[in-house]
Structure 1
Amino acid sequence: MTMANASNPFRGIRIGSASGAGLAGWQAETGRSPAVVHKHPVTYRCPLGHETTPVFADLAEEEIPEYWDCPRCGRAGSRRPGTQPGAVGPELYKSHLDYAKERRSPAEAEQVLAWALGQLRRSRGEEPAG
């Protein structure tokens, strides 16, 4: 029977930790302990100089990605300074405006802008321009 702590009945133990009396929880019941996975930090640097260091399981060198997206600017960072992804690598970051420009010609963009400005002016009670 397990006794709950009266001051904090939901207090837990982190998996992999051992209590003062030895194994705790499922470890004590099964007699097993969790397998230890070795971690391997890999540093990537994007073209703007931002560094990010994700941590991978201990993998073979060919299993670790050559490029990793920068969390600050979205560009692809490389493990080896000075190299950037070629045409085969991941696509560079595109903003919402970049995608909108792909869908519309400049003439269509002007037409949509004029319509949106007209809607805005009408909602404010202003006279439409031109």
Structure 2
Amino acid sequence: MDIMDSSNGLRAVRAGSATGAGLAGWQADTGRTVELVRKIPVTYWCPQGHETTPVFAELAEAEIPKTWDCPRCGRTACRERGAKADRPGEEPFKSHLEYAKERRTPQEAERVLQDALERLRRNRG
């Protein structure tokens, strides 16, 4: 909730604030300053060549993750282009289509496709 300051009709201050000076007033009142955290971008590449660059607070090299999940394909991305980083104990990435192909023979898949196309054509007219 903002209340108009009587000294200046165009300047608003937050209700309950000691000064209308904002951050500069806060710094003057407390004697503290804002310390900004330095940020560093780190680039990762997945096996399909997608590039991802998350931004981290400045950390020691050992604290920056060696791998990152690719937001485009879900595979594990590494900090070196072309490197593979399969996580131990994890099944390799499979797309939805790959899982569907495991469940159906090519003949079953063709039949399901034809049924779906027939329903679409019937509903259109």
Shorter chain as denominator, the TM-score bin is 0.5 to 0.7
Over 4 Å off, 4+ runs: 4-10, 71-74, 89-94
Report Cα offsets for 1:4-40 as digits up to 9, x if no partner: 9755759xxxxxxxx7xx824x444444333332223
Q: Alignment identity in percent?
A: 56
CA change 1:48–1:114 in 2 (3 A) is closer
Letter in 2 for 1:83: A
**Distance across 1 between alignment mates of 2:89 and 2:40:** 23
**Distance across 2 between alignment mates of 1:8 and 1:101:** 65
Aligned length: 114
**What is aligned with 1:83?**
83
Asked whether 1:33 is paired with 2:33, we answer yes
CA change 1:29–1:80 in 2 (3 A) is same
Structure 2: gaps of 5 or more residues: 14-20
Q: Is the 8 A contact 1:76 1:90 kept in 2?
A: no
Looking at secondary structure, tell me which structure has more strand per residue: 2
Q: Secondary structure at the match of 1:77?
A: strand
**What is aligned with 1:46?**
46
**What is aligned with 2:24?**
23
- RMSD (Å), alpha carbons: 3.9
Structure 1: gaps of 5 or more residues: 11-18, 126-130
Q: Is the 8 A contact 1:50 1:72 kept in 2?
A: yes
TM-score by length of 1: 0.56
